[in-house]
Every structure is written in structure tokens, then in C-alpha cells.
């Protein structure tokens, strides 16, 4: 469903890997400098871990375009997009489960592409069009995909549901008529511990027909 495991920023720019490389180089330089200074003064050398923590705790202002609106916040450089959404902006529809790109519960759209928000730094998401589950409904009217999930009873605890719905939106936006195999492939990065897969696939089919203007009566 998503190729965000690498954390690379869609459309170029600073990638997660690039950022970590940069921090690693900076940490090495800072550590070496601290060690030399400590040797000269006889002071206790600063440990690499302490230097790491100091660098990573720096805060920066970021502006994120979320559901069409710019939101400015101050985050630590290590803050993920998922943490920014949930802890800083109170957009808790995007769920935190594994925090390591294995469950898909945190799926959001970045420039239309489904990504796992737990694997992307908030810093890297700047300049991207971010869509979350909160941006789908128009007032009280559910988005057709949300409506289809509701009608097909495609959830039990509902914890995986926002991720599945956002992954479905990315799929149907890019491919309005996916085959069952394409649906399964697109949703393969999302896990439902309650095992509602058959109802989820029914819901995707219903949403597909409705979005194409066909009849998919409840
Ligand atoms: S919380 Fe991000 S993939 Fe599981
Ligand atoms: S409905 Fe419970 S994890 Fe999917």
C-alpha cells in the first residue's frame, strides 16, 4: 500500500534517511569536538548519547498543510507526523498502534499518496498536501468511502478503520476501477486484528461503484 518504509519524502526534499544521516554526521563531529575539549581541560568527556539527546531535543517551527489549511506548530526535530497530528494538533482520528510501519493504522495521504505517518518526520511533511480522516466528511455528510464502511459493517473495534479508509481513498483516487487483486494489494499494508477483511473488501467495492456513479444501494 505504501512505500513509506524508507521514510523518503514524496516529491524530493529532505528524506528521513537523509535527515538521520545529517544528524549522524553532526553528532560525530560534536562528539569528537567534545572529546577533544574534555581532554584539554581534564573534564569528564561528554558521552555520544548525551550529545545525541541534546541535538535531537532541538525544537523548530513547522507549518503543515492539513486538510487544506495551514497549521503552524513547534515540534522537536525528531517529532513524527503522527505525533504532530495527534499530540500537537489533537487530530486523533489517525491512530497510533505499532509506531513502526507495520500495521497501517496511521495511514494518511501525502500529496495523494498513502503513507504511514509514524515513519515520516513532521519536518519532512512541510510543503506537502496532507489529508487525514478528519478531512473526508463534508459536515455531517460522510464521504462515500466512510458511508460504505458503515453500511458494510466493515469494522468491529474500529481502530484500524481510519487507516483502511485513507488507503482506500488513495487507491480509488488513483485507480477508480481496481480489480479485487488490486484492492488486496493496495490494502496489504493495513492490518485488522478483528479480522473484518471480507466486510472491508465489500465496502471498497461498494464505494468504488458509488464513486463511479453506479447504483450501490445499502
Ligand atoms: S502506527 Fe504507523 S504503521 Fe502502525
Ligand atoms: S476493526 Fe478492530 S482492528 Fe480492525
Which residue minimizes the CA distance to atom 3 of ligand 1?
Answer: 101
CATH of domain 137-211: 1.10.150.120
> How many other CB atoms are there within 10 angstroms of residue 57's CB atom?
10
Q: What percent of the chain has pLDDT over 90?
A: 71
204 has a pLDDT exceeding 70: yes
Is the shortest distance between the CB of 162 and ligand 1 below 6 Å? Answer: no
155 has a pLDDT exceeding 80: yes
Quick one: which of 94, 102, 117 has its CA closest to 163? 94
Predicted local distance difference test score (pLDDT) of residue 39 = 39
173 has a pLDDT exceeding 80: yes
How far is the centre of ligand 2, averaged over its atoms, from the C-alpha of 44 (Å)?
Answer: 52
Give the number of whichever ligand sits closest to the CA of residue 103: 1
The whole-angstrom separation of Cα 191 and Cα 61 is: 33
DSSP-assigned letters across all residues of 112-155: TEEEEGGGSBTGGGTTSEEE-GGGTSBTTBPPHHHHHHHHTT--
Q: Which of 155, 162, 167 to mutate to test the pocket of ligand 2 (most atoms within 8 A of CB)?
A: 155
Give the number of whichever ligand sits closest to the CA of residue 191: 2
Which fold would CATH assign to domain 4-134? Ubiquitin-like (UB roll) (3.10.20)
Is the shortest distance between the CB of 160 and ligand 2 below 6 Å? Answer: yes
Predicted local distance difference test score (pLDDT) of residue 58 = 85
How far is the centre of ligand 2, averaged over its atoms, from the C-alpha of 200 (Å)?
Answer: 10
Predicted local distance difference test score (pLDDT) of residue 68 = 98
The answer to whether 94 and 132 have CB atoms below 8 angstroms apart is yes
Long-range contacts made by residues 48-55, C-beta under 8 angstroms, separation at least 24? Answer: 51/27, 52/27, 55/23, 55/26, 55/27, 55/30
Q: Convert the pLDDT of each residue in 46-79 to its tens digit.
A: 555 655 555 556 899 999 999 999 999 999 999 9
Is the shortest distance between the CB of 194 and ligand 2 below 6 Å? Answer: yes
179 has a pLDDT exceeding 60: yes
Q: Mean pLDDT throughout 14-22?
A: 42
Give the number of whichever ligand sits closest to the CA of residue 164: 2
Is the shortest distance between the CB of 118 and ligand 1 below 6 Å? Answer: yes
> 59-66 and 129-131 as β-strands: parallel, antiparallel, unpaired?
parallel
Q: Which atom from ligand 1 is nearest to the alpha carbon of 96?
A: 1
**Owner of C-alpha cell 548525551:** 50
The chain-wide mean pLDDT, for the chain, equals 83
How far is the centre of ligand 1, averaged over its atoms, from the C-alpha of 119 (Å)?
Answer: 8
3-state SS assignment for residue 60: strand
> How many other CB atoms are there within 10 angstroms of residue 198's CB atom?
10
Terminal CA-CA length for the chain: 27
Is the shortest distance between the CB of 56 and ligand 2 below 6 Å? Answer: no
Domain boundaries, the chain: 4-134, 137-211
Is the shortest distance between the CB of 197 and ligand 2 below 6 Å? Answer: no
Q: Convert the pLDDT of each residue in 103-152 to its tens digit.
A: 999 999 999 999 999 999 999 999 999 999 999 999 999 999 999 999 99
Amino acid at each position: 500500500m505504501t512505500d513509506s518504509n524508507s521514510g523518503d519524502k514524496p516529491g524530493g526534499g529532505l528524506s528521513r534517511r537523509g535527515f538521520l544521516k545529517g544528524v549522524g554526521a553532526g553528532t560525530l563531529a560534536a562528539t569528537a569536538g567534545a572529546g577533544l575539549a574534555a581532554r584539554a581541560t581534564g573534564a569528564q568527556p561528554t558521552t555520544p548519547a548525551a550529545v545525541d539527546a541534546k541535538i535531537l531535543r532541538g525544537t523548530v517551527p513547522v507549518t503543515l498543510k492539513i486538510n487544506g489549511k495551514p497549521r503552524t506548530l513547534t515540534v522537536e526535530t525528531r517529532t513524527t507526523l503522527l505525533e504532530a497530528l495527534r499530540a500537537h494538533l489533537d487530530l486523533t482520528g489517525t491512530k497510533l498502534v505499532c509506531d513502526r510501519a507495520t500495521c497501517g493504522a496511521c495511514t494518511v495521504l501525502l500529496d495523494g499518496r498513502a503513507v504511514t505517518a509514524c515513519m515520516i518526520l513532521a519536518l519532512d511533511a512541510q510543503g506537502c498536501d496532507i489529508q487525514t480522516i478528519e478531512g473526508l466528511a463534508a459536515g455531517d455528510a460522510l464521504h462515500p468511502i466512510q458511508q460504505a464502511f458503515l453500511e458494510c459493517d466493515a469494522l468491529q473495534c474500529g481502530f484500524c478503520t481510519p487507516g483502511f479508509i485513507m488507503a482506500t481513498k488513495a487507491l480509488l483516487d488513483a485507480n477508480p476501477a481496481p480489480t479485487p487483486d488490486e484492492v488486496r494489494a493496495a490494502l496489504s499494508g493495513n492490518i485488522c486484528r478483528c479480522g473484518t477483511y471480507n466486510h472491508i473488501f465489500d465496502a471498497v467495492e461498494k464505494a468504488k461503484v458509488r464513486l463511479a456513479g453506479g447504483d450501490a444501494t445499502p
